[in-house]
Structure 1
Amino acid sequence: MIYNVKFHQSYLFFLFVPAFFSLLLVSCTQSTKPDVSEIHLDVKIARFDKDLYTGKANSLDKTNEFLTKKYDVFYDDYVHRMVGNFDYTNEQILTTLYKDSAYTDLNKEVDNVFKDITPIEKDLSESFKYILHYYPKAKVPRFISFVSGFAVQTPIGDNYMGIGLDMFMGKDSKFYKAIVQSVPTYLSRRFTPEYIVPRIAETYAREELFHERDEDRTLLSKMVYNGKILYFMDEVLADIVPDSVKIGYTQKHLDWCKTFESDIWAYYLQNNLLFETDYQKIQVFLAEGPFTPGLGEKNESAPKLGIWTGWQIVRKYMQENKEITLQQLMAEQDAQKILNLSKYKPK
């Protein structure tokens, strides 16, 4: 195998060159959570970031051998896909990392923020118990933490899910202020520890359980697909995870959506957008950004309004059709049917 890494919410801007590091609300779901106490699962996060950093004290050959044996495919993906490429040997990449002071500084910051990751492991265990309750055949991946110089946040590879800890250090981290031109503040404000488990759950849902179909090209179909993903997160995340964190909004964004929900819906209908398939027109309502162009005054609207609306449609669908199970919802591919049966007509 050469590599098999899927990058979700990637922010690739560091290339492997000698100066590699020089730049340096409570959920409103209506369902009651099932009892998962009989499902035994104890997630542990393998600290590749620590093993890689402490490898500085050993010979390159010894460190490379150790990391290859312990991390196998992940290590290969890390050196050749995340921080480097196949033009360089493992030892050359390790040498470049170890010689760069910014790599050292970043690791110290990560170590300071994540001295104890037990709470994260506990929350991951709980979330994947719910996933296994609904999907018993789902395979729980090996979780591996790493530092990549802000290259990628939650990659998935063969039998692993990575956690880029340097992209969860806290919104006030000095490092994020230094990279604002590459990673704008509206993204880095979400680089906090509380986002780790929700982003893992979302990535796992999108990449491992519910792939988006190529034929679903209308805005409505994409609304509903994304709404289903967020509803899935409603069901498998702890009740204490706010809706704002699930979707990546500020509380102000969430309040704006609730205030203008009927106006948002009217805008779609008046502009015949639900069955629009033009990529450029659709992305306005699905893409990350500081706001959604065309709606709201003074750029104060919430971003990716299509995703938020899809979430409300799916929630209303499940509220109106209580006999529908989560599995049946996620298997339903008819977005129009879900909209019709949801009786979604915000006022």
Structure 2
Amino acid sequence: MNNPRFFKPLALALALGLGLSLTACRDQDGACRPDAAADAPAVALSLQRLETPFFQLKNPGEAEQFMRQHPLLARYYLQRQPGNEAALANALAQLAASPELARLKAQTATAFGDSTALRKDLGELMRRVHYYFPDFKVPQAYTYVSGFQGKDIYVSDSLLVLSLDWFAGPQASYRPDLPHYMLRRYTPDHLLPTLATTMASKYNKHELTANTTLDAMVNSGKALYFTSQVLPCTPDSLIMGFTAKEMAGVEANEGKVWGHFLEKNLLFATTPFLIQKYVSERPNVPEIDRTAPGRIGQWVGLQIVRKYMAEHPSVTLPQLMAEKNAQKLLNDSHYRPVRN
């Protein structure tokens, strides 16, 4: 199985795949997915770009005032707590005065210079989430440049923080300290898919005692399916964070990939290290083939979920996300890709 020629994309699939990275507004066959929320009403979104006021801070006193003006940001993102206020204010003032961070801020501004477009894209995402989940409350949204000192994305019921420097892309002088196969997902085009998949965790129900490879695959697949529904015109390459060549490869060899899981009796394995090989971050999965991308198990989970939803068109997104039984989803999906 570990043959360097095993995972070869079909010529047509590769030709289609090469176009995936060129646009964030079409899926793999050049068209948006069906969008049940197309006519959903708009939602009110408050987006504040904090990069400019942050870099105007001149001393710890102004940093303290900045935190008082944005208490949710200070408490939940900056981790302000009783006893660390002075140290945090000093640290923020030093960051705001850093020439290196100012340079990164300028490069981030180049990558995300159109606030209107960003606000529109975020509003469209929130609008669709609200359509599917009417109890969803749009959080107060901020953009920020953290110098990689904070999370790339923080989202809760009341607060959304997008640390845009994480997603400034390869033109930036400074990048997050991550392996290349992960770093390539930190570009402007990956911001919204990453946010949407993060938001899915609020609705994605999972049985805590369900600890098989299949459970991990389907749980990830549900989150990715959520992302594909609230971002219906975003291609799978961005949702998965795969290259065009990787997308073409997995699509052309779907039956062979699935066959590997069956032949090796992997679906009901419970060894964490084994599960991580197929579902967690890795540069590739040589157990299948040296060209098979890491997290390929997540992609298979997405295919299972898509097949299930195609077989059950009356099932809603909330119903899917509430379903905890991965075995049921697999059985009822009748997922049996043909091996070429």
- TM class, shorter-length: 0.7 to 0.9
Corresponding residue number in structure 1 for 2:219: 225
Most deviating of 131-140 and 28-37: 28-37
1:123 alignment partner AA: D
Query: Residue 242 and residue 71 in structure 1: after superposition, are their counterparts in 2 closer, same or farther (change >3 A)?
Result: same
Q: Which of residues 239, 245, 257 in structure 1 aligns to 2:250?
A: 257
1:185 and 2:187 aligned? no
**SS state at 1:308 partner:** helix
Tell me the CA shift for residue 158 of structure 1.
Answer: 6.2
Contact 2:305–2:333 (Cα < 8 Å) also in 1 = yes
Residue 30 of structure 1: CA displacement?
Answer: 9.2
Matched, 1:300 2:291: yes
Q: 1:48 aligned to 2:64?
A: no
Listed one character per residue, the Cα deviations across residues 284-329 of structure 1 (whole Å, up to 9, x for unaligned) are 0111222113111xx2112111100000001011111222222221
Go from structure 1 to structure 2 and tell me whether the alpha carbon gap of 1:291 and 1:48 turns closer, same or farther (over 3 Å shift): same
Note the C-alpha offset of 1:36: 4.7
Q: Which residue of 2 aligns with 1:237?
A: 231
Cα 1:136–1:189 change in 2 (3 A) is: same
Work out the CA distance in 1 between the residues paired with 2:32 and 2:334: 17
Q: Name the CA shift for 1:92/1:158 in 2 (closer, same or farther; >3 Å).
A: farther
Which letter does structure 2 place at the counterpart of 1:174?
Answer: S
Structure 1: which amino acid aligns with 2:51? Answer: D
Q: Which amino acid in 1 is paired with 2:96?
A: Y
Secondary structure in structure 2 of the residue aligned to 1:300:
strand
Say which of 195, 201, 209 aligns to 1:200. Answer: 195
- Comparing 282-291 with 167-176, greater Cα deviation is found at 167-176
Deviation at 1:157, TM superposition (A): 4.7
Structure 2: distance between partners of 1:315 and 1:158: 28
Over 3 Å counting, the alpha-carbon distance change for 1:47 and 1:211 in structure 2 is farther
Of the three residues 272, 289, 314, the one matched with 2:282 is: 289
Q: In structure 2, give the amino acid aligned to 1:303.
A: G
Secondary structure in 2 matching 1:55: coil
Offset, 1:282: 0.2
Structure 2 residue aligned with 1:96: 94
Matches for 1:89-128 after TM superposition, within 5 Å: 89-128=87-126
Q: Does 1:215 align with 2:209?
A: yes
Percent identity reads 31
Q: What runs of 5+ residues in structure 1 fail to find an aligned partner?
A: 1-24
Question: Whose RCO is larger (CA < 8 A, sep 6+)?
Answer: 2
Is residue 120–residue 197 contact of structure 1 (8 Å, CA) maintained in 2? no
Residues 103-139 of structure 1: CA distance to partner in whole angstroms, max 9, x if unpaired? 2222222223222222121111112111111110012
Find the counterpart in structure 1 of residue 326 from structure 2: 335
TM-score w.r.t. length of structure 2:
0.84
**Match for residue 265 of structure 2 among 250, 256, 272:** 272
Please tell me the root mean square deviation across aligned C-alpha atoms, in Å. 2.2
**4+ runs deviating over 6 angstroms:** none
Aligned residues: 309
Specify every segment of 5 or more residues in structure 2 that has no aligned partner in the other structure, as ranges: 1-19, 21-25
